[in-house]
Amino acid sequence: MAQTETELRDLLEAGRTEQGEPISRLGYFCAPFRPSGGPFAGKVIKRYPSHATSAELDRLADAHDAYLCLLLKCGVAVPQTEFHLVETRGRRVPVIVQEGLSDASMMRRQMISGTPAEALALMQAAGELIADFWAAVEGRTERIGFHPSIRNLAVIDGRAIFFDTFPPLIGYDRDEMGQLLITFSGSPLMRAVGPLLRKRVTAIQDEWYSPAGTLIGLVGSACRLRPVEAPDFLDWGCDFAERRMPRHAQEVREHLAVPPRLPGYWTATRKLLGLKGEPNL
């Protein structure tokens, strides 16, 4: 572990030449990169801004370990993922090292390029992941969330793979998670003005902690990606909820009477940060 963290520190301090260009600049928390050579060749490296206290960082590390264990226990397919707190330039920073996935496997890319039937098959794979996760955590007492958006999924051989383990959605209450969204934002602007927009930023997470909300969010994204086929996605979502998530079917039906729109607080936040709907891995 010490050797890995030393190599990570060297990579983080080496600059763009060793790191390569970011895979995406559109993630809320960071711009992940994939080194082309060295000990982390082929891995995806996610470095998160560190403006947290030592106690907050230690809690974050414990929460990430717990959340990753939970995901795997629930049968969620996750690429090999490691969380590190790396000492660099006098500061400990959170770093995730993850096995890379191919661009072609990204769900969003496949949703855009596929046929209507293929798009619905992708939705089915994502829906099964959502339903299985919420069934597996039912009855647990701690606050647990899940954010399997189209941007956060790959689909390989009909199976959805979830790769966005940050923030770890376990053990934080709503206000604490709202603060985490500000503290670890990849945008200096958000870290500066976030406290003034605390209610709006805190509300971003609400969908992640709702079984119905995660399915509704998935369908809403599909409708925005392929608006011509929105009626098919709405029908699929209602039918899927009836079959696989019956306890939440009424709420899903109520929200899928028309294509869901992104909440105003989230669109405003994305505009503030200059984010667009692209894969963040």
Distance CA 58, CA 63 (A): 9
* pLDDT (0 to 100) of residue 222: 97
Q: How far is CA 38 from the centre of its chain?
A: 27
Q: Which two tokens stand for residue 260?
A: 């869901």
Residues 17 and 142 in one domain: no
Q: How many CB atoms are closer than 10 A to CB 243?
A: 11
Query: Is the model more confident about 230 or about 42?
Result: 230
pLDDT band at 165 (very low <50, low <70, confident <90, very high): very high
Q: Does 218 have pLDDT greater than 90?
A: yes
Specify the DSSP class assigned to residue 121. H
In the block, tokens 């999924």 appear at 153
Higher pLDDT, 125 or 12: 125
141 HSE (CA, 13 A, CB side): 0
Q: Of 52, 69, 99, which residue sits at a domain end? A: 99
280: in domain: no
- The whole-angstrom separation of Cα 29 and Cα 12 is 16
Residue 29 belongs to domain spanning? 2-99
- Same structural domain, 156 and 229: yes
Whether residues 74 and 181 fall in one domain: no
Q: Which residue, of 99, 124, 146, is where some domain finishes?
A: 99
- The answer, yes or no, to whether residue 95 has pLDDT greater than 50, is yes
Question: How many domains, the chain?
Answer: 2
The reply to whether 201 falls in a domain is yes
Cβ atoms of 201 and 178 closer than 8 Å:
yes
Q: Assess if residue 281 is contained within a domain.
A: no
Distances (CA, A) of 281 to 37, 77, 109: 18, 16, 12
Q: Do 71 and 187 fall into the same domain?
A: no
Listed residues 99, 127, 148: the one ending a domain: 99
Average pLDDT for the chain: 88
Per mean pLDDT, which range of 34-38, 132-136, 261-265 is the poorest?
A: 261-265
Q: Dihedral sign, CA of 161, 206, 252, 246? A: positive
- Across the range 228-235, mean pLDDT stands at 98
Query: Based on the domain organization, do 126 and 211 belong to the same domain?
Result: yes
**Is the model's pLDDT at 25 over the cut of 50?**
no
pLDDT digits (tens, 9 = 90+) for 98-148: 999 999 999 999 999 999 999 999 999 999 999 999 999 999 999 999 999
Quote the CA–CA distance of 182 and 259 in Å, as a whole number.
Answer: 29
Q: Which of 185, 222, 189 shows the shortest CA–CA distance to 204?
A: 185
Q: Is residue 237 part of a domain?
A: yes
